[in-house]
Amino acid sequence: MRPLSRRQWLLFVTSIAGVGAFAAKSAFAFSMQNDSAEVDGLVRNRCSAHNPYHAQLVSDLVSKLKGHSQAEIEAALAVARCPICGCPLA
């Protein structure tokens, strides 16, 4: 039996890995989870005109910035975005 060259060895190993990957029925790195009712409702109403979650985020941000000037608060609100939908808050 003659020894395998480097090229033959790499082809052999990659073909075995390819067969193994093809035989796998599902990807184990990802899993699907259902959203909670709260998150589902927030995503569904994400850009409505009267979104209470966005109003709460603005209220929280303004309360955290107490003691800063009005210009600094407005600048912070101008760049703030909702963590769920990515919409600007102001």
Rounded to an integer, what distance in angstroms lies between the CA atom of residue 49 and that of residue 7? Answer: 63
pLDDT at 70: 93
In tens, the pLDDT along 24-80 reads 655 566 777 777 888 777 777 666 656 788 888 889 999 999 999 999 999 998 999
Cα first-last separation, the chain: 74
- Which helix (H) or strand (E) segment holds residue 79: the answer is helix 70-79
Residue 27: per-residue pLDDT: 58
